[in-house]
Amino acid sequence: PMVWRGPMVHSAVTQFLREVDWGQLDYLVVDLPPGTGDAHLTLTQAVPLDGAVIVTTPQEIALIDAKKGLKMFDKVGARILGIVENMGSFACPGCGAEHPIFGAGGGRATAERFGVPFLGTIPLSVEVTPTGDRGEPIVHGAPDSPIAERFREIARRILAST
Decide if 86 contacts 57 (C-beta within 8 A).
Answer: yes
Any alpha helices (H) in the chain, and if so which ranges?
Answer: 6-18, 38-46, 60-75, 106-114, 128-133, 138-141, 146-161
The answer to whether the Cα torsion of 150, 51, 83, 124 is positive or negative is: positive
Asked if residue 25 and residue 88 are part of one domain, the reply reads no
What's the whole-number average pLDDT of the chain? 89
Q: How far is CA 34 from CA 66, 72, 98, 104, in A?
A: 7, 12, 25, 19
- pLDDT tens sequence across 147-160: 999 999 999 999 99
Asked if 114 contacts 80 with a C-beta cutoff of 8 angstroms, the reply is yes
CATH number for the domain spanning 60: value is 3.40.50.300
93 shares its domain with 71: yes
Q: How many CB atoms lie within 10 A of CB 93?
A: 9
Residues 31 and 78 in one domain: no
Domain count, the chain: 2
Task: Kindly report, residue by residue over 6-16, the tens digit of the pLDDT.
Answer: 788 778 888 88
Instruction: Give the residue from 88, 104, 74, 82 showing the smallest Cα distance to 156.
Output: 82
CA distances from 14 to 9, 10, 87, 116 (A): 8, 6, 31, 29
Q: What is the pTM of this model?
A: 0.87
My answer on whether 69 and 87 are in the same domain is: yes
Whether residues 156 and 96 fall in one domain = yes
Same-domain check for residues 82 and 157: yes
Q: Is the pLDDT of residue 1 over 70?
A: no
Contact yes or no for 104/89 (Cβ under 8 A): yes
Claim to verify: residue 151 and residue 117 sit in the same structural domain: yes
Mapped onto helix, strand or coil, the DSSP state of residue 61 is helix
Identify whether residues 25 and 68 lie together within a single domain.
Answer: no
Specify whether 132 is located in the same domain as 64. Answer: yes
Q: 146 lies in which domain range?
A: 50-161
Which tens digit of pLDDT belongs to each residue from 81-137?
999 999 999 989 889 899 999 988 999 999 999 999 999 999 999 989 999 999 999
